[in-house]
Structure 1
């Protein structure tokens, strides 16, 4: 999906839209440093409990692709304004990795970075992903976006992934489909266990990460074992419930099938 400043951007700043396809995402992630024998992107075939049960568990992040209509875009901007005025349901964990989207159609790569930057996955030392996250560690979301813009390897990796299985680059790069990512995050308000420096591992929050929004958005409590089901409920009620489109897709980051 394009950024909000399309008219002022040169054509060269537009990337090719990324397909919502786990094979494409796994190829991208493996090339850049994810240990895909341990963690992979898997299809979510539907929101019904029987279909969710087919997804390898535990799910550590979920990417959602959906049609970003003018109505939905307006609602999300209004939601951001309300958050800025009134705050969120709970404080956002300060360790959350969040990056702004400044490149048109880069929402797929942004979504993947949000998933891998916040999930408990193995990233190979000295790989492009490891170096990128290290470089971005103490930077603002806007500075992280600037670093991404100037990291040519990510540009080429996105193009390679976006054209995988396609015979030619699409002539029209405009699309209304957009990626967001849901991740499991610690609850900063959870009580600290006696004799332990970490917060209660069972008290987690669902955080939505969208580079077009002003920041991370809290969607309420969850647990590791119910995360995928809880995200499916959010998608059903807050995304599909307000749309007449069928162009929705979900990809889960978790263990490989059969593990």
Structure 2
């Protein structure tokens, strides 16, 4: 969850599969992340096996009771860390998932960190995790701090919506919700191994949670933490070509091309996130001022801002001054 205070150097993280996949890569974990736009069985089957679901939602505070009918499990024997600093919830959600996936390859640093926290209570574990400089650097790698500071300008403080990452995953025959702002993991009951397995139960829980928001609310994002399909596709391609199955080979090549194109797009977008655009923006504004196009552009922007402010006021939201 984001906030104004106590970020301890942790930057906001974008809910983007390319960002999360790069984080996993830096942690030595051979998994990837993809956006989920639906929880229907057909969509989920494209990403199997899925190890966990990362859920982003608008945090509104309120009741300390478990969500969607679950029960707190204070005796949870797995890995669970509290969120003790703001802006760390994305990486914390990932760690709460990775720490409970059996036999998962990890970097030596991550393995040592998880092993070091064995036996700690969630609060102490959260403090230990977020004090790891190397982990914070990996988290911040694609979320560089702003190069422009508005401190000292006397601007009015505005409250922004807070968003929070949590994780759902199977553990010891049940579906668990791991939320670093909750006192304990939430157990949502057992699941059947047959059929969709744990995902069927997770769908019920997530849909019930979304149902508590006003109709049409879109303040959600869902990501699937799953096996990287590239190694299996490459192996299947070799087998199909060796067997002379040209139709299967062609289909696999299309899937490989799509996967590789997706990785290239992620790499391009991540390179943009790392870039500092302050110099470019300054040069652009200077060029517009010199050519006489800056003032007309400001006029258009002010008109658009008036419309935006009016819509915000209609919805009962706090709005900034027009100037």
Counterpart among 193, 201, 209 of residue 230 in structure 1: 201
Q: 2:102 aligns to what? A: 120
* SS of 1:60 mapped into structure 2: strand
Bigger radius of gyration among the two: 2
Determine the structure 2 residue equivalent to 1:180: 166
Partner residue, 2:62? 74
- Return the offset for 1:169: 8.2
SS in 1 for 2:181: coil
The answer to whether structure 1 residue 214 and structure 2 residue 206 are counterparts is no
8 Å CA contact 1:14, 1:104 repeated in 2: no
Contact 2:56 2:164 (C-alpha < 8 Å) held by counterparts = yes
1:252 aligns with 2:221: no
Structure 1 residue 14, shift from structure 2 partner: 5.7
In the alignment, the residues of structure 2 paired with residue 156 and residue 169 of structure 1 have an alpha-carbon distance, to the nearest angstrom, of 20
Query: Partner residue of 2:294?
Result: none
Higher normalized contact order (CA 8 Å, seq sep 6+, divided by chain length): 1
Greater Cα offset, 246-255 or 204-213: 246-255
- Asked if structure 2 preserves the Cα contact closer than 8 Å seen for 1:66 and 1:179, the reply is yes
In 2, the alpha carbon distance for the partners of 1:79 and 1:31 equals 33
What runs of 5+ residues in structure 1 fail to find an aligned partner?
A: 187-203
Give deviations 1:3-49, integer Å, cap 9, x for gaps.
Answer: 7xx7xx54x52632212222111111111221x2xx32232221233
1: CA distance between counterparts of 2:191 and 2:147?
Answer: 42
Q: Which SS does the other structure have where 2:54 is aligned?
A: strand
Quote the residue 2:174 is aligned against: 205
Q: Relative to 1, partners in 2 of residues 1:215 and 1:233: Cα closer, same or farther, differing over 3 Å?
A: same
Aligned residues, how many? 219
- Alpha carbons of structure 1 residues 226 and 15: separation in structure 2 relative to 1, 3 Å: same
Contact kept? 1:184, 1:207, Cα under 8 Å: yes
What's the TM-score, normalizing by structure 2? 0.60
Partner of 2:53: 62
Distance 1:167 1:152 in 2: 19
Match of 2:83 in 1: 101
1:131 aligned partner: 112
* Residue in 2 that maps onto 1:45: 37
Matches of 2:2 and 2:98, distance apart in 1: 22
Structure 2 unaligned segments of length 5 or more: list them.
151-157, 233-323
